[in-house]
Each structure stands twice: as C-alpha cells, then as structure tokens.
A and B are shown apart, each in its own frame.
Chain A
C-alpha cells in the first residue's frame, strides 16, 4: 500500500501540480466558495506530502474538494464537514491535528518551550550572578568618609 502511495505521488508529481484547474468546480456564490476554500485548506490531500486539498492536483483532492463544496452548498457548518471527514479518513486528514491525549505534547510545545527557556534563564542568572554582599559597618564607614565633601 505504501509503495503504491509513493508511486502514485511520483506519478502525480510529473503532472502540473496546481489545485483547481477547472472553474466549474467552484461554487457560484463567492461567499460559499471562500468558506469552502477555508475548510479545504484545513484538510490534507491523503496521497500527497503536506499539501492541502486546495493546493493539490491529485484526483483524490479533486474529489474531496467536490465533497466539501457539496456540503457547504447544503448548508453544513465547518465543524460538521470536518467531523465527517475525520469520521471517514481519521485524524490524518486534518492538517491541524485535534487536541487529544496523543497530541497534547504537540500543542503544549509553545508554552512548554517558553517555560523551560524562562526557567533556564532564571537558574542561569542565579548561578553565575551572585548578588554582591552588602557592605559591613567598617566598609560603610570608609565609604562615607571617602564620599564626604572635602
């Protein structure tokens, strides 16, 4: 199966790869078409590397685009369409993975990285920059003497 997918991708690469090549694919209502593009850009073309169905020239992407547009025209919400796609193809189809136990680490990365970075900076500051010890009484007296106007 995997070899087949790879072969399919190679075959597709040799065709000019751009998304919609037929204006008849698009919905007549520009607002609906814009929404369909928005939804489609969240969905992965399953036989390509890292391309959304809006960007891909593959036949499967073409079919999925048609499904998205049918459902947009039928008045479904974005989340309904995404849910249908995930039910059918698994989370793999979403370019932005849903937050689950397995993707927790992925989504937490920005916060974790900031926390680790700030923590390291604080620890580093403490370790290499000991606060200068306060002056003792004799030093303070000497300082006062020096800074007294002559």
Chain B
C-alpha cells in the first residue's frame, strides 16, 4: 500500500511540475495576474507530493518491504536502521528521487521567500524550476522508478555495497545534491532575466545568496566525499582525479566564479551577461556531472548505473536544458545592457581575472575528463588522462589565483592602484617568504612553496579587515568600534579565502607523509616518522551484519604512549565482500593512519602512514563554507532586498 501511495505521489509531483512550468511561463508571458499568482501554490504542492514520495520510500526500506525491487536490491533485514534510511538515496533510483525532492525544496523556498519579487519574475523563475523538475520526475517515473514491485517478494534483500555503509557517506549525497541542485535557482533567475530582457542590481541581490548557499553546500559535499575516500578506501589518498570527483569540481569552479561576479552585478551593474552565462554554465555542469556519470559514458569506480535507455533519456534532457538555455542566451543576451565602467586595475578587474582563471581551470578539468571517450570515438585512439596530467596543468593555473585572492579585496572599485597592495600586505608577504625559506631548508621545493603560499593566503586574507579596523595603529577601543561597523561580508570573504590557505597547507603537509608496509606478528615493532608502532594482538569480533578481524596496535613516541589503534577488516557475508576499516588518530597536526591487510601464517600485513597536517585539507573546506555562510548573514543582503509595501500603504 505505502509504495503505491509513494508511486502516486511521485506521479502527482510530476503533474504539479508540468503545471508549474506551463502556468508560470505562460502566465508571465500573458501578464495574467491570476496565473502568475497560482504558480507558488503549484510549487508548494509539488514539494509536498515529493516529500510524501520520499517518505514512502524511506518507510518501505525501514519496514523491509522486499516486494519493492529497489529495497530488495539495496537493503537487507540485517542492515542497521540508520543505513536502511540513508540507503534510500545510496542507489540510482533513490538518488534521482532525492534530486527531485531537493529541486522541489528550492521551488518551495522561492515561493515562500520570493513574495517580494516582482510577480512576473517570480512566475518565470518558478516556471523554469518547474520545467526542469518535470524532466527529472519524468525520468524518474519512466526509467528509474524506485517504487516498482516484484512478486513473489524475496525473503531477504541483496544488501548494500558495504563500502557505502558508512556514516560519512550516508550524509554525503544530500549535502552534495543541495549544492548541485541549489544552482538551479540562479539558473532559473538567469533564464527568467533573459526572457524578460532585463537585469538590475536587485536581480544580483537575489541571485547572490542562492549561489552562495549552494556553493557552501557543494564545498562541504566535495570535502565529505574526499574525506570518505581518505578514511574508507584505505589507500591513504584524498583526491584521485576520478571522473566523479571531477564532475563535482567543475560546478564548484564555475560556481565560485559566479559567487564573485554576482557581487559585481549587485554593486556595479556590470558583468551582467557574463554572470548570466556563469549561472547557466554552473547548473549545466551540475546536471552533466550527476547524469553523464550515470549514462555510462564515463565509467568509474563510483558509477552505479549503466543503462543505455537511461543514457539516451539523460542526454536528451541535458540537450534540452543546456541547449535551450544557451540558445535563449544567444538570442537575448544582447538586450542586457551593462552599466559601470571600470579600469583594468580595480576590484572589478580583479574579479574578471579571477573568473578567467577559474573558468580556465574548469575548462582543463572538462577537457581532461571528456578527452578519452571522445578521442576513442572520433580518432579511434585509446588514451588515458589521469592525475599526472591534471596536476601538471591545473597547478600552474591555480597558483596565480592563490597569489591574487589574498589581496584582491584590497583593491577599490572602479579604479585602483597596485601600490596600496604593497603597503597593506607587505607583512603577509614577508611572513610567507620567511615560512617558505625555513621550509625549503627541510623539504622539497614544491611543499616549501605551498607552505609559503598558504601563509600568504591565511595572513593576507585578513589584511583588508586589519586595514579597515586600523588594528595595531589606532587605540583598541577605536578598532573594536570599527570592527563592529565592518560589513559581515568582508569578514566572511576573509575567512573563506583563508580557508583555501588552510586547505593548501593540508595538501602540502600530506605530500610529506611517510608510509610503510610491513608483515607483522604480535610483538613486532616498527619505526615510522618519529613514532613506534607495536602490534599487540590480532582477534576476531562480531558486528551487526559483518564479522571482523581486528588488530590492536600500540603507538608510542620515544617510549611515551600516544594511542592504541584498532584497524579491522570486515567481511559482509550477504555480499561476500570484504572492506577495510582504517584506524585514524589525529591531533590536528598529523594523522596516524593504519590499515590491516591480509593475514598469512599468523602474520598480518599492515600499512602504516604518518600524514602531517592531513585534517587541514577538510578543515579548510569547512572554514571556506563557514566564511560563505557568514557572508550570507550580511545585513545588506537582508535589508537590501526589496520589500513590498502593504496594499493600503500605496497611495492610489
């Protein structure tokens, strides 16, 4: 019964989405107030129906209804309840439903918070969101329906890929999808602006917070994925330039560019056409990212669905959304007139430079990811493009960004001079050179340079804040008063930029990691990176739906105990699959990382790693997201948005 209700709710949501698209776009075109006023209600209806469908799937999974094919294939009685719930989005069908739900939430939020928008703009935005949603829900219903039944129902399900049974991964898809799907809102605003042929500062003020929220989620989502790869896969790496990882990096790069260029639209009414293109591009990359991976064109370790019928539907949908919006852009973009003029050396000029570099990095990632299938298809050449290529091409493009982003905010709008950068940030540059110099004496050139760059970025990012509060130059009370008056966005930007520095420091530290692979029997001791690792014992322990072998390892530093680490190997009987459970002990300055391997003749293979500064990689991403979130709290974003007067207050 419940799966049927869910199925019905899904179909209902699809109908709502179609209605929302038609009513919104047609109503705005005809300037029909009644149609335009009906659109938000349809969006909320779609959201409620999708929430019902999602709830039905969660219930079917939690109550072990194995007559539902999706549940039977991805769940099992013995699976812990948490993973029965989170597992609903850990498979292809469920993740498409989650995608639709989040898109529905975006529509609902625009309906609720968009009361102050001009009604035609709101109707168009909701119409575009509805149209996109309709495509996905149709895809979900026809090719990836999570509610299909099979009879007779199997006694138990096939269970979930044990690699995915992990709390980190359970919440990775929703966070990542909030990022991906959130960019649908700036996209809808961009398409609506093209339809209207008008963009003003108020438009920028609406788009920026949406882009910023999505960017924060995407940043966290990518960091969670990378962290999961680090602790779950047990390879000791954190970024593999895998097509799936690249797919999430592409919209992040253009999304970062969008967040910055939207500032220019809002403040200076300039770069409008470019911002619209970025909004379209970012969502297009989000779509391609999630769905090209699933069409089977780019195979990878992560891809869990490879079905040609789905592939063709996806390609058609991508062609319609991306091709349609780009066509509209080509036709209508000349209507958008830009205002503010600026000199090359100015805040705007700096942001244009930032956009050029970020988009170039994105182009490299796209071309690198897509080249092998196209070279195979068009030239009949089999080539591989992997980590060495991306490291060699992305790094030279990223370094100028790292150097410039610390001091870019010091440039004034319209026209500026480079001299103030020197007078305001010399101390950060001096510190960076000092740190880089000290490091160069102790390590290879590249990590030393990276530590220098990280210092520059972390300190330099706060130079604007220090400059504006006259810290260390004015009396403390004066500085505090100035700090209170400082726009929160300035502080948010400084924190986000410094977060990038923290991540770079983490990556540099990780490149200095030392590791060792040993065969050990209880009692053996090994030295690595200033620590002694002693294998105490090997034992067997039962788990909820697996059996595990656990190694106990004592770690000491010069005889002083540091930690007891217990890496394990889990054997999941229902899938006949083994995973390794890495033991990690961190003090935020270094990670101790131990993996248990095969056992033979009473000896176990152990991989020991000491990874300096490893947690900073993900900590930096969190700091970046926190900076973005803080920037959202800026008074100007709330107060600056237009608010509608009550009808009675307007003189006739």
Contacts and interface: CB of A to CB of B under 8 A. Distances in A.
Interface of A: 6, 13-24, 26, 41-42, 44, 48-52, 55, 90-97, 102-103, 105-107, 109-110, 112-114, 117-118, 121, 124, 128-129
B385 A41 contact: no
A117 B274 CA distance: 11
B540 interface: no
B363 A109 contact: yes
B341 to A, nearest CB: 4
Interface stretch (B7-15, B229-237, B422-430): B229-237
A92 B384 contact: yes
A16 to B, nearest CB: 5
Given A97-B385, A118-B356, A124-B274, A102 B299 contact: no
Given A41-B387, A102-B379, A106-B371, A114 B300 contact: no
Given A95-B388, A109-B393, A113-B363, A21 B382 contact: no
A114 B301 CA distance: 32
Nearest to B393: A110
B240 A50 contact: yes
- Chain B contact-residue range equals 35 or more
Given A18-B235, A23-B605, 18 more contacts: A16-B234, A18-B595, A22-B605, A23-B519, A26-B517, A41-B387, A42-B388, A50-B243, A55-B240, A95-B384, A96-B386, A97-B383, A102-B375, A103-B371, A106-B385, A109-B368, A117-B355, A129-B341
Nearest to A48: B301
Contacts of A22: 517, 519, 598, 605
B352 A97 contact: no
B519 A110 contact: no
Contact of B352 (A91, A92, A121): A121
Contacts of B226: none
A50 B597 contact: no
Nearest to A108: B367
A114 B361 CA distance: 9
A43 to B, nearest CB: 9
A24 B389 CA distance: 30
A49 B306 CA distance: 14
B260 interface: no
A117 B397 contact: no
Given A102-B383, A114-B360, A96 B389 contact: yes
A34 to B, nearest CB: 11
B238 interface: no
B338 interface: yes
A24 B164 CA distance: 31
Interface stretch (B80-88, B90-98, B557-565, B569-577): B569-577
B383 A21 contact: no
9 contacts: A15-B578, A20-B517, A44-B384, A48-B301, A50-B301, A96-B386, A96-B388, A102-B379, A121-B352
B358 to A, nearest CB: 10
A51 B387 CA distance: 9
Nearest to A132: B341
Contacts of A110: 360, 363-364, 393, 396-397
Contact of B301 (A14, A49, A96, A107): A49
A17 B386 CA distance: 18
A23 B519 CA distance: 7
A97 B389 contact: yes
A114 B578 CA distance: 46
B398 to A, nearest CB: 11
Given A49-B301, A102-B375, A14 B575 contact: yes
- Specify which of A6, A92, A109 lies most central, judged by the most chain B CB atoms within 10 Å of its CB: A109
Contact of B383 (A26, A91, A128): A91
Interface of B: 233-235, 237, 240-243, 270, 273-274, 299-301, 337-338, 341-342, 352, 355-357, 359-360, 363-364, 367-368, 371, 375, 379, 381-389, 392-393, 396-397, 517-519, 569, 575-580, 595, 597-598, 605, 607
Contact of A13 (B274, B301, B388): B301
Contacts of A95: 384-389
- Specify which of A96, A103, A118, A121 lies most central, judged by the most chain B CB atoms within 10 Å of its CB: A96
Nearest to B397: A110
A130 to B, nearest CB: 9
A117 B359 contact: yes
B341 A50 contact: no
Given A102-B375, A113-B360, A90 B519 contact: no
A111 to B, nearest CB: 9
B479 to A, nearest CB: 38
Given A49-B301, A109-B364, A14 B576 contact: yes
Given A19-B235, A50-B243, A128-B338, A102 B381 contact: yes
Given A23-B517, A95-B388, A106-B368, A18 B597 contact: yes
A13 B300 CA distance: 11
Contacts of B578: 15-16
A149 to B, nearest CB: 27
B383 A18 contact: no
Contacts of B580: 16, 18
- Specify which of B243, B360, B518 lies most central, judged by the most chain A CB atoms within 10 Å of its CB: B360
Given A44-B386, A95-B384, A55 B356 contact: no
Nearest to B380: A102
Nearest to B570: A16
Given A23-B519, A102-B375, A55 B237 contact: yes
Given A90-B382, A110-B364, A14 B393 contact: no
Contacts of A91: 381-384
Nearest to B240: A50
Contacts of B518: 23
Nearest to A49: B300
B605 A21 contact: yes
A95 B387 CA distance: 7
Nearest to A118: B356
Contacts of B337: 128
Contacts of B363: 109-110, 112-113
A50 B242 contact: yes
A43 B379 CA distance: 22
A112 B341 CA distance: 27
B273 A124 contact: yes
- Specify which of B235, B299, B578, B598 lies most central, judged by the most chain A CB atoms within 10 Å of its CB: B235
Contact of B569 (A16, A23, A24, A103): A16
B531 to A, nearest CB: 18
Contacts of B569: 16
Contact of B367 (A23, A109, A121, A128): A109
Contacts of B607: 18
